[in-house]
Amino acid sequence: MEESWMPIGELARRAGLASSALRYYEKEGLIDGGRRQSSGHRHYPRHVLRRLAFIRAAQQVGLTLPEIRGLLATLPEARTPTKADWERLSRQWLPLLEARIRALQTLHDKLTGCIGCGCLSLKACALYNPADQAAGKGAGARYLLGDRPE
């Protein structure tokens, strides 16, 4: 059975991406199998749609393109993820999702108070973070990162 091919524009539309994103993903080794027709337009095998769906889901979870490339590289012969692959690979995302949920909950709980950023611009910071004591704990919004005020 001959594989079905899609023009880059149709693949991009179906995947909800720009054609330039598909070219970039191919350049970065996230997808392959594209070829130029005699017209000069790129075409891709239809199964690349599933690979693109995996990439988009992984990005929404917060994985970087290098992390996604690493996950996809575990598939034999750079194939499109199967249901079993999806279950195995997506299980690896759970710790990241749980960490994000905790970070969002902390942000939610502390949004109206001092976050230990060192700005000292809020009147309350003189109470919550006198003399910018949070700076001694490191860079960034220390109280959002999990440090406790003294």
73 falls within a domain: yes
Q: Which domain holds residue 113?
A: 97-137
Same domain? For 25 and 81 the reply is yes
Same domain? For 129 and 110 the reply is yes
> How many Cβ atoms are within 10 Å of 66's Cβ, its own excluded?
11
142 falls within a domain: no
Same domain? For 102 and 128 the reply is yes
* Long-range contacts of the stretch 27-36 (C-beta < 8 A, 24+): 28/65, 28/69, 29/69, 30/55, 30/65, 30/68, 30/69, 30/72, 31/55, 32/78, 34/8, 35/5
Instruction: Give the pLDDT means over successive 10-residue stretches in the chain (150 positions).
Output: 84 95 92 82 90 91 89 81 86 87 83 74 72 85 82
- Give CA–CA dist 5/34, Å, rounded: 9
| Structural domain total, the chain | 2
Same domain? For 34 and 82 the reply is yes
- To the question of pTM greater than 0.85 for the whole model, the response is no
